[in-house]
Structure 1
Amino acid sequence: MATHPFRIANFRAYWLSRLSGTVAQTALAIVIGWQVYGLARETMDVRQAAFLLGMIGAAQFVPLFLLTPITGLVADAVDRRWIVRTTTALLALVAAMIGVLTYLGTLTLPALFVAAVLVGVARAFSGPAYSALAPNLVPRESLPTAIAISSTAWQLGAIVGPSVGGILYAIHPHVAYATITALFTLAVATMMTIRPVPQPAAQKDRRPLARILDGFSYVRQNRLVLAAITLDLFVVLLAGATALLPIYARDILHVGAHGLGILAAGMGIGAVTTSIWFSFRPMNSNVGVKMLIASLVFAVAVLTFGLSRYFPLSLAALIVAGGADMVSVYVRQSLIQLHTPDAMRGRVSAVSQLTISASNELGEAESGLMASLLGPVGAVAFGGVAAIIVTLLWARLFPELRRARTFDPPDMLQTEPSHGEAKP
């Protein structure tokens, strides 16, 4: 019988570190966004401030994009515990720095953008290290449970963090930054208690970038995996509304920082509720059609949020959008893990991780740009309609996805053999 991961001291420390670090990171993101918009509104109109708010996402995405070819290699060559410890300590310093500047009344927009870049650098290295560390902490037979529990820590942190950030900032900015810094410090401290773990053999391949490109090549050839990854990418990229939440909280719904925290937690609530449902009732039929339907629901929910002026309706729309997005994530990740040969899973997962960053952080930049042109309501409405069009287009361009009945690889390979899918 497999040992439960929580019976292992190393894993308990890892889980607590990931939970506290995720709460702190998502709280920091919502507070930085609120301050950027607030400072920008002192001298700019709503559209100009919205553009700057979107650029915060770009400031985080650029280092993630540029560092992707080497971060995985570093995670395989350096003690992963020390990668997480170092990057989390950097995040604690960033939070403390912004907190001090806020206390002194000398906070500026350039300082917030520098903080966003440093957050992007830290995340670029900590993400692969956190993911790769979990298998080193538990026996092989306990790994599936450990991965599920680790994912729960991330999802729970994504729900709690924005609410913590928004509510504490409403109490006082100093309270918010002190709490965020303390949570990052707790994440470092618990990571320090993890004893030495097995380290993989040093990488000898002199072409790390070539391995990343191999992953892109496989995804391009396997049309089913390509359809799932790109559908999720473009729908979230176009219809992502999270970057504009500070605008809605302050100038449209008029609920302030407290309401911002609640809105920011909305999608996480929907995502966790859906993931709990799947843990009891796994999806096992018509998976491709269900992903397409979920994408449509996500787009319609975002469109509803964009047009709403009623706070409860706006929150409900975000909860529905989060649940629909989790369906897409569930299908995409299952297709990648089960439809990709084991020798290619790492590289294909790297491609997936890069597209997730593109849809989230780059999507924030797109939202800010469109809001500067169309206004925040027009930008969200445009994104929702565009996501609906993309979903309908993908249903026609990729019949492989439409015909995928289960996650079973042989079944999926039969959906459209004429397109030359790479076989596992």
Structure 2
Amino acid sequence: MDFTAVRALKYPNFRLYFSGQAISLIGTWMQRMAVSWLVFRLTHSELMLGVVVFAGQIPIMLLSPYGGALTDRHSRYKTLLFTQIASMIQAGVLAAVVLTGHHNITIIIILSVVLGIINAFDTPARQSLMINLVEDKKDLPNAIALNSSMVTLARLLGPVAAGFILSSFGEGICFLVNFLSFVAVIASLLLMKIPPVPKIINKQDIWQGLSEGYTYLQQHTGIRSVILLMACTSFFVMPYSTLLPVFATNIFHGNVTTFSWLNAVSGLGALGGAIYMATLKPGNSLLKVIAYCSAQFAIGLILFSLTGLFPLALCFIMAAEFGMLSQIAASNTYIQTHVDENMRGRVISYYVMAFQGMAPIGSLLIGFLAHYFGASTIVCAEGIAGVIAVVCFIPYLKKAGTGDLSDLRKRVLTSNIKS
């Protein structure tokens, strides 16, 4: 049996991280699905769906650069442990208010904002910690790909479990399961043995550090282009998922089971993309993968919005999610393998801001427009905007690829001279 596709699992710390996150993320996806269904059940409003997503993700856009700069100055491990405990508390409070019947849309929005603030610090710390979990840095791309596979497997299993629990027990039990799932990831973090990383004492103001991160991006065409394309995709295309409850009930005339199918098949497509990235050979151009998969995501979404047949819609949304996950994983891998170590947290924070920070603004806009023009029309427009974004960025990605080759030649020449 060929174990090269899972070679990063040979490292004990990464195995602990992988297993703990796998359990916890199933609960996370259950909570995400249950929140969307609860909001639509309470309000029957596309606009309110957008408002809740906006409330939960706008803190990421505003605070992620600060969180990334903080990560570069302090322990990534301790930051992640703290944010996971805080996320567990948030899930517990949400479960308590729903199970006791004291919930309303205002409370849901407030708790969504709290989770968004936590995630603004959690995501840069989690992404930056990845390099400390594998001893051989050549295995970092495989670790990132396996992490993406684990996330998407949870995205597949979470909605299936949530669909059963929602139809049988209600949203509160989904939130309770998510609360309990954090025990796994916190335990895995406590069991890790990460050697202390020597920190350079940095008395520099955090906001000055953020400015340096911005200057660094201006000097690196490849990383900058990847982050900007991700920002466009996140703003224009990814918010389509906000409207899945509307598609399930108003367009396909279904119920929570239909909603569960849409989410589960989306997860299956994303899992396919993650497996593709995990088995991708090192010689492949990540920039080409990013361009092709971004286009597949957008075109798949256009076809999904235009069909009225549920089985065809499932096929199209699967293809779209395959492209989306591949774009995300390839972008993350490209950035992680090209950024300088001392700038890692700050650059990743800008990536997080592009990936998760632009989505809330897009979700609010999509919810507002869908309220007046209909979900199908707006999702089709999202796909068209995604295609236009890819076409606009192709010249910059080509230029970045040429620049990477030039840098490689310079490194080879320099090493030859030194030797």
TM over 0.5: yes
* Partner SS for 2:103: coil
* Partner SS for 1:255: coil
The one-letter amino acid of 2:64's match is T
8 Å CA contact 1:289, 1:404 repeated in 2 = no
Deviates more, 1:369-378 or 1:276-285: 276-285
The match for 2:109 among 95, 108, 113 is: 113
Q: In the TM superposition, what is the alpha-carbon distance from 1:114 to its structure 2 partner?
A: 1.2
8 Å CA contact 2:27, 2:179 repeated in 1 = yes
- Residues 320, 412 of structure 1: alpha-carbon distance in 2 compared, 3 angstrom cutoff: farther
Any residues of structure 2 matched to 1:273-292 within 5 Å, and which? 273-282=272-281, 284=283, 288=287, 291-292=290-291
In the other structure, the counterpart of 2:121 is 125
8 Å CA contact 2:79, 2:125 repeated in 1 = yes
Q: Please state if 1:158 is matched with 2:161.
A: no
Q: Distance in 1 between matches of 2:121 and 2:399?
A: 38
Q: Distance in 2 between matches of 1:100 and 1:274?
A: 36
Deviates more, 1:232-241 or 1:192-201: 192-201
8 Å CA contact 1:247, 1:376 repeated in 2 = yes
The match for 2:179 among 166, 178, 181 is: 181
The one-letter amino acid of 1:271's match is A
Q: Distance in 2 between matches of 1:347 and 1:409?
A: 25
Any residues of structure 2 matched to 1:85-96 within 5 Å, and which? 85-96=81-92
Q: Distance in 2 between matches of 1:289 and 1:4?
A: 24
In the other structure, the counterpart of 2:363 is 364
Q: Distance in 2 between matches of 1:86 and 1:77?
A: 16
- Residues 73, 217 of structure 1: alpha-carbon distance in 2 compared, 3 angstrom cutoff: closer
Q: Distance in 2 between matches of 1:78 and 1:221?
A: 26
* Partner SS for 1:211: helix
Q: Distance in 2 between matches of 1:138 and 1:284?
A: 21
Q: Any gaps of 5 or more consecutive residues in structure 1?
A: 42-48, 415-424
Give CA-to-partner distance per residue, 1:253-279, whole Å, 9 cap, x none: 233222222312333322321332343
Q: Distance in 1 between matches of 2:282 and 2:315?
A: 24
- Residues 128, 336 of structure 1: alpha-carbon distance in 2 compared, 3 angstrom cutoff: closer
8 Å CA contact 2:145, 2:277 repeated in 1 = no
8 Å CA contact 2:34, 2:166 repeated in 1 = yes
Q: Distance in 2 between matches of 1:76 and 1:227?
A: 23
Deviates more, 1:339-348 or 1:383-392: 339-348
- Residues 126, 405 of structure 1: alpha-carbon distance in 2 compared, 3 angstrom cutoff: closer
- Residues 124, 274 of structure 1: alpha-carbon distance in 2 compared, 3 angstrom cutoff: same
Q: In the TM superposition, what is the alpha-carbon distance from 1:244 to its structure 2 partner?
A: 0.9
The one-letter amino acid of 2:310's match is F
The match for 1:51 among 47, 50, 53 is: 47
Any residues of structure 2 matched to 1:231-242 within 5 Å, and which? 231-240=229-238, 241-242=240-241
The one-letter amino acid of 1:316's match is C
Q: Distance in 1 between matches of 2:408 and 2:360?
A: 31
The one-letter amino acid of 1:171's match is S
Any residues of structure 2 matched to 1:165-204 within 5 Å, and which? 165-173=162-170, 174-195=172-193, 197-201=195-199, 203-204=201-202
Q: In the TM superposition, what is the alpha-carbon distance from 1:343 to its structure 2 partner?
A: 5.2
8 Å CA contact 1:6, 1:12 repeated in 2 = yes
Q: Distance in 1 between matches of 2:226 and 2:168?
A: 42
Give CA-to-partner distance per residue, 1:220-239, whole Å, 9 cap, x none: 34444433332232134212
Q: Distance in 2 between matches of 1:122 and 1:228?
A: 25
Q: In the TM superposition, what is the alpha-carbon distance from 1:190 to its structure 2 partner?
A: 3.1
In the other structure, the counterpart of 1:421 is none
Paired residues in the alignment total 403
The one-letter amino acid of 1:54's match is G
Give CA-to-partner distance per residue, 1:369-404, whole Å, 9 cap, x none: 221232222221221222223333334xxx242466
Q: Any gaps of 5 or more consecutive residues in structure 2?
A: 411-419
Give CA-to-partner distance per residue, 1:33-74, whole Å, 9 cap, x none: 111111112xxxxxxx11111112211222212322332344
Any residues of structure 2 matched to 1:311-350 within 5 Å, and which? 311-337=310-336, 340=339, 344-350=343-349
Q: In the TM superposition, what is the alpha-carbon distance from 1:111 to its structure 2 partner?
A: 0.9
8 Å CA contact 1:234, 1:390 repeated in 2 = yes
Any residues of structure 2 matched to 1:61-76 within 5 Å, and which? 61-76=57-72
Any residues of structure 2 matched to 1:128-139 within 5 Å, and which? 128-139=124-135
Q: Distance in 2 between matches of 1:196 and 1:331?
A: 26
Q: Distance in 1 between matches of 2:55 and 2:230?
A: 22
Q: In the TM superposition, what is the alpha-carbon distance from 1:320 to its structure 2 partner?
A: 0.6
8 Å CA contact 1:51, 1:371 repeated in 2 = yes
Q: Distance in 2 between matches of 1:81 and 1:197?
A: 11
The one-letter amino acid of 1:191's match is L
Q: Distance in 2 between matches of 1:70 and 1:244?
A: 31
The one-letter amino acid of 2:146's match is I
Q: Distance in 1 between matches of 2:269 and 2:34?
A: 22
Q: Distance in 2 between matches of 1:227 and 1:165?
A: 37
8 Å CA contact 2:13, 2:194 repeated in 1 = no
8 Å CA contact 1:57, 1:363 repeated in 2 = no
8 Å CA contact 2:234, 2:356 repeated in 1 = no
Q: Distance in 2 between matches of 1:410 and 1:342?
A: 21
